[in-house]
Amino acid sequence: MGRLQVRVQPGASRNEIVGFEDDVLRVRLTAPPVEGKANKALITLLSDALRVSKSAIDITGGRSARQKVLEIRGLETEEIHARLVGR
């Protein structure tokens, strides 16, 4: 199981993965940070980018914060970074 730190910018003009900055993945989401909408959008975006199911991704820290910790089942941390950088 791999871990990923993510910094989310909700309310952006489009959904996009910006890239890594100091081992933290920066992501922009159109969804507002209300009622878990940004978290759902984040999981959808990352599941597509990593080619894993949505159920393989869990937010284990920072559920209501911009800085989050995610655990991805089926991938090691190095593979997660490689898939996101090599997109």
Residues of the chain with pLDDT > 70, as a percent, come to 98
Q: Which CATH number fits domain 2-85: 1.20.58.1180, 3.40.630.30, 3.30.1200.10, 2.60.40.1080?
A: 3.30.1200.10
Residues of the chain with pLDDT > 90, as a percent, come to 97
What confidence category does residue 85 fall into, taking pLDDT thresholds of 50, 70 and 90?
A: confident
Round to whole Å and give the CA distance between 38 and 59.
12
Round to whole Å and give the CA distance between 30 and 84.
20
What confidence category does residue 87 fall into, taking pLDDT thresholds of 50, 70 and 90?
A: low
- Mark residue 51 as left, alpha or beta (left: phi above 0; alpha: psi -120 to 50; beta: remaining): left
The predicted-structure confidence for 23-49, as pLDDT tens digits, reads as follows 999 999 999 999 999 999 999 999 999
Partners of 20 in the β-ladder:
25
Round to whole Å and give the CA distance between 45 and 65.
18
**Residue 56 carries which DSSP code?**
G
